[in-house]
Amino acid sequence: MSAPTSSATPQSELTRMVKARPLPGDPVVIEASAEERAALAARFGLGAVQSLRAEVTLDQKARAIRA
């Protein structure tokens, strides 16, 4: 008999709250810290994550917000 598996979502190593109003907004830059990159590398079995950066713009389409 195999061990039970958890269906819970793992805690994210990289979480950011951004203000979604007013739309359209200025681009938002999200950059992982050294600690966040180390946690991601450990989770995915990588030697290191040298950098992780995203630039996103929020735009409203009808009643939904898309990133």
The pLDDT assigned to 48 comes to 98
Exposed (0-12), middle (13-18) or buried (19+): which is 9, by Cβ within 10 Å?
exposed
Alpha carbon dihedral 16, 21, 23, 28, in 10-degree steps, equals -20
The pLDDT assigned to 7 comes to 59
The structure's pTM equals 0.64
Per-residue pLDDT of the chain (67 residues; tens, 9 = 90+): 555 555 566 688 888 777 777 767 788 899 999 999 999 999 999 999 999 999 988 877 777 666 6
Listed by start position, the domains of the chain span 28-66
